[in-house]
Amino acid sequence: MPGTNTMAIVSLVSSFAGVFCCIGSIVSVVLGTITLNQIKQTRDDGHGLTTAMAWRLAAS
């Protein structure tokens, strides 16, 4: 049974770190892209977290 993709969680956390420095935002975008590809291939959970990260970055 697939669980939540760990990179999705890291991507969301790094998007919040992007508030303090832009490196967090860059890391978040890269990890988010990789995570979406992994989720498509492995059927892991975490699509919602990655979507939340994208909205969080769009809001900042």
User: For the chain, which residues make up each domain, given as ranges?
Assistant: 6-59
Rg of the chain (C-alpha set): 11
pTM of the full structure: 0.71
Average pLDDT of the segment spanning 6-33:
82
> Is pLDDT at 34 greater than 80 in this prediction?
yes
The rounded mean pLDDT for the chain is 82
54 token code pair: 């994208």
pLDDT band of 2, cuts 50, 70, 90: low
3-state secondary structure 12-55: HHHHHHCCCCHHHHHHHHHHHHHHHHHHHHHCCECHHHHHHHHH
